[in-house]
Amino acid sequence: MDRRRLFRLLWLSIAAAAATIALKATAWLLTGSVGLLSDAAESLVNLAAALVAMAALHWAVKPADQEHAYGHAKAEYFSAGAEGVLILAAAVSIAVAAVDRLLDPQAIDDVGVGLAMTALASGINLGVGLVLVRTGRRARSITLEADGRHLMTDVWTSAGVIVGVAGVALTGWEWLDPVIALAVAVNIVATASRLVRRSAGGLMDRALDEPERRKIDAVLERFERDGVQFHALRTRQAGSRAFVSVHVLVPGQWSVQHGHDVVEDVDAALRDELPYASVFTHLEPAEDPRSFSDTALDRDAPVPPIS
């Protein structure tokens, strides 16, 4: 996908965050609701997260160089991890404010205007979030998808706050306002935990997801029917890029050219299924025992059982 489009979408996210902060902060100032304050605090985190995402994507799209021969795509995982940490910080601040208000309940004012402004802010987040998630999946950008999911979480948070604050206005139960804020904090923690886990998985060279591995297996099975064998299959994902390595075992009497042709066909078939993958193949004679001494990550090490 065009890099300029990715950056334009992040600028859109930044603009949306700024607009929702203004709307939600005004709603909080009008009403004095700690629930609306918690919603505004999450939008402030949205802005910080979008700025971090912009910096991370700037590094992630850089081409490979001598010091980073496999590219810079992993920078996107730092963005998702940083966003998760920022969300956790927001959850703590919201919880502190909510507990203080729970101990000292206060009435809220101008509920109608405040909730209308919050609803408008949620509409902005919904539209931008849907675009970011859809584009992030298509471009395999964890940065865009994480930012979009965060905005979508904000929409659900705002919906809960709107219902709760309206309930306070209708019932007069002032304690309901801080309880809503605590529920928002819990929801934010769950979102942050998912982002941090995904970021950690990428930084730890997590294997490709099951649907992608099934595509790889299907490609290799086509060649196995012609007598070609495979082992030492390894995959990993790094942001929008994937890496696949596999050893190709062919009869030893084949010519180098014949073996090379088969390897090229395997490589092309894998890239047809996974266009975003870099494929590494290693040609070996099937009759040579040494061909089976490097199936583990360390040569001659025992192959760990599949758990």
Kindly report which listed range (109-113, 201-205, 299-303) carries the lowest average pLDDT score: 299-303
- pLDDT given for residue 285 in this prediction: 93
Kindly report which listed range (27-31, 44-48, 205-209, 303-307) carries the lowest average pLDDT score: 303-307
Q: How many other CB atoms are found less than 10 A from the CB of residue 221?
A: 10
pLDDT band with cut points at 50, 70 and 90 for residue 302:
low
- Check whether 283 has a pLDDT greater than 80: yes
- Check whether 307 has a pLDDT greater than 50: no
Look up the pTM and report it.
0.59
- Check whether 78 has a pLDDT greater than 80: no
Q: Which H helix or E strand runs over 196?
A: helix 176-203
Q: Is the dihedral of CA 51, 55, 58, 59 positive or negative?
A: negative
What is the residue-averaged pLDDT of the chain?
81
- pLDDT given for residue 53 in this prediction: 74
Per-residue pLDDT averaged across 101-111, rounded? 73
Which CATH architecture is the domain 3-203 placed in?
Up-down Bundle (1.20)
- Check whether 56 has a pLDDT greater than 70: yes
- pLDDT given for residue 305 in this prediction: 55
Per-residue pLDDT averaged across 52-59, rounded? 76
> How big is the chain by its Cα radius of gyration, in Å?
26
- pLDDT given for residue 304 in this prediction: 55
- Check whether 213 has a pLDDT greater than 90: yes
Per-range mean pLDDT, top range of 5-14, 114-123, 156-165, 259-268: 259-268
Q: Reduce the secondary structure of 137-187 to three states and give it as a string.
A: HHHCCHHHHHHHHHHHHHHHHHHHHHHHHHHHHHHCCCCHHHHHHHHHHHH
Per-residue pLDDT averaged across 294-303, rounded? 68
Q: How many other CB atoms are found less than 10 A from the CB of residue 94?
A: 29
Same fold, 3-203 and 210-292: no
Structure tokens at 77: 């995982």
Per-residue pLDDT averaged across 243-259, rounded? 93
Domain ranges in the chain?
3-203, 210-292
Structure tokens at 62: 């850089």
Per-residue pLDDT averaged across 282-306, rounded? 76
- Check whether 300 has a pLDDT greater than 70: no
Give the residue ranges of DSSP H helices in 32-74. Answer: 34-60
Taking domain 210-292, whether its CATH number is 3.30.70.1350 is answered by yes
- pLDDT given for residue 132 in this prediction: 87
